Structure 1
């Protein structure tokens, strides 16, 4: 199901009050105006913890990218550690004291960052690197002068669904067969200067596919069937890999899942932690899941600057398009006022976005139109700061990574 219409209208009232009060106070509301609703953010964080049961939630920072919000999520009971998306980001978060438990989600060949890691015993003790090939170990060794600082390693194991000779899921690790995983694990264990501490199995075809989409009943049924098949196959594979690794190493962590699969992933006894991030902000790609109630928490506003006709309004900018396979689902969605739609010809543009629909005729020059981004985290690459909304007031203004001069 999608977000509640009642909650949507209430959000519109709260945003209008906050904007009016900020303007009355003489605050600069430069656009795109980025806003996070803390009430929804906190409720979503608590819901992720509830869905995970007694399994800790590791925060996927790629889906947040605002240090103050990363800290806020980690302050919730049930969250533990960060799943970072680059080693440089992990090093920065550690240096800032955000957390001393960082798992880098993707293999790194960033030699400068790796050199910083192996030169710092404190960073090396806090940060775990991801590998799926011995080549990744070679890159680490190429930048260090001694083996005095051991490097923590986790192995990324393919978690896709294999059916009928096809692979369904993210194209990540080449390691599928248990023998391949054990072979790499043995190389890590036997290689000086490395410690094998964990495994990752990210089932993106379960965690990242909506399965309750309006007017797509047949497709949703297929997706739910695919998810069930994936969960069953993956539970068996995880157990097989875990049993095969047990005589070789005592693992500290087994990371898996995402916001769309928290319950199913946490139910697997092999998994020690679930990853989640998008569920905190709920972008439009996460609106239609059976597993949780969507509470959108991130928005951006741009002003109406033209009225080309009585039934059209054009806003300045708006083209904050999400990554992934190009399609309409990657476009931002006009959210408030209600009754607005992108046009088929222009879509969402870099410098202007025309809007149509029954709500367009009521807009005046200078009015703000609120949008939702399709993906979580990417929104904050488009601004230097974020207003934090609590109730009907902006209670803080915090910097994004971009605002801090960081580009990870």
Structure 2
């Protein structure tokens, strides 16, 4: 028996926000485009290229729009995400992650005839696997050496260890040394701005110094990649960088606004979740139809209702959100729609199949998250 799936709740083009079924992942297209243009121009003012990370939006359509607005390509976290981007016309993709399995590197090798797809290495093991995959496919896989500049996640030590890995790539067949990468993620929430800038310069200084060391060895370093939305204002201004991976600011969320201080830079909340009040059991409590299957919440950072003073999300269960109504809260009615700003876009978007793209409060486009679930 063939199983057929239909979705009677699918958003209709031209529908108003107030007509949408809930929960729904909303994307204000005007705000997304303004945020993207702001991010691109801020990075390019430093003479650096923009390669936004797509791990939050997972959408080739939005990636293509970012390229129209100034990006040179995109960054992905997973090989599967890169495949989706290439299959949908994106021609330059960085997989900003170490790939430690032969089959995954075989897949990267097969993409090279349609796009330039970079991978990362921080150990000779990665180089050997990538070289074998490249030789088997008759291509060269471009590799970036990832350096640990203080976040203490992945990455080879800066200086001589990174140079030695670059040497190995440079003399290996089936791969090509393309450059260096680092992520100064440990500085994103530092404040005031002078403290963040100093920490970013210290971290990225290790990356740039390593670039000079590799170049003194006679090996060209075409790409020096790094940076995030929370640090790009400093990192994009550092001489020696060639591209910045910041992407989260295009969507915006409470993490970037409050902890990374991007609201002060003029970024707007483009991403929200639309929910509906389904119960008013008491005068100080309302229940909505969006729980932790539709929203995420970090400790002490719940989603924030839009335009509802003295209303707080206190709990998310699987299918329900609990709203606490203070003395100054409006009298929410059953059936009323409530819009919420996510705590963090990365942990919100993957819970949904699609964005409902709005312009002037009306549905302009339904945008599938085509790379959702492509975890390998």
TM-score calculated relative to the size of structure 1: 0.80
Partner of 2:154 in structure 1?
Answer: 172
CA-CA distance at 1:339 after TM superposition: 2.8
Partner of 2:127 in structure 1?
Answer: 137
Partner of 2:207 in structure 1?
Answer: 238
Per the alignment, in what secondary structure is the counterpart of residue 350 of structure 2? helix
Partner of 2:223 in structure 1?
Answer: 253
CA-CA distance at 1:336 after TM superposition: 4.1
In the TM superposition, 1:183-332 aligns within 5 A as 183-206=164-187, 208-209=188-189, 211=190, 220-221=191-192, 224=193, 226-246=195-215, 247-288=217-258, 289=261, 292-319=265-292, 320=294, 322=296, 327-329=299-301, 331-332=302-303
Partner of 1:122 in structure 2?
Answer: 113
Root mean square deviation, CA, Å: 2.4
CA-CA distance at 1:235 after TM superposition: 4.5
Per the alignment, in what secondary structure is the counterpart of residue 65 of structure 2? helix
Whether contact under 8 Å (2:131, 2:175) holds in the other structure is no
TM-score calculated relative to the size of structure 2: 0.86
CA-CA distance at 1:90 after TM superposition: 1.0
Note closer, same or farther for the CA distance 1:68–1:176 as it changes in structure 2 (3 Å cut). same
Whether contact under 8 Å (2:29, 2:358) holds in the other structure is yes
Note closer, same or farther for the CA distance 1:263–1:144 as it changes in structure 2 (3 Å cut). closer
Note closer, same or farther for the CA distance 1:111–1:177 as it changes in structure 2 (3 Å cut). closer
Partner of 2:31 in structure 1?
Answer: 40
Gaps of 5+ in 1: 1-16, 24-28, 161-168, 212-219
Cα distance in 1 for partners of 2:204, 2:132 equals: 37
Partner of 2:88 in structure 1?
Answer: 96
Whether contact under 8 Å (2:201, 2:234) holds in the other structure is no
Structure whose residues are more often helix by fraction: 1
The answer to whether 1:59 aligns with 2:71 is: no
Per the alignment, in what secondary structure is the counterpart of residue 362 of structure 1? coil
Structure 1 outlier segments of 4+, above 6 Å:
none
Cα distance in 2 for partners of 1:71, 1:176 equals: 35
Partner of 2:144 in structure 1?
Answer: 154
Partner of 2:324 in structure 1?
Answer: 356
Per the alignment, in what secondary structure is the counterpart of residue 195 of structure 1? strand
Aligned length: 354
Partner of 2:17 in structure 1?
Answer: 19
In the TM superposition, 1:393-408 aligns within 5 A as 393-401=362-370, 406=374
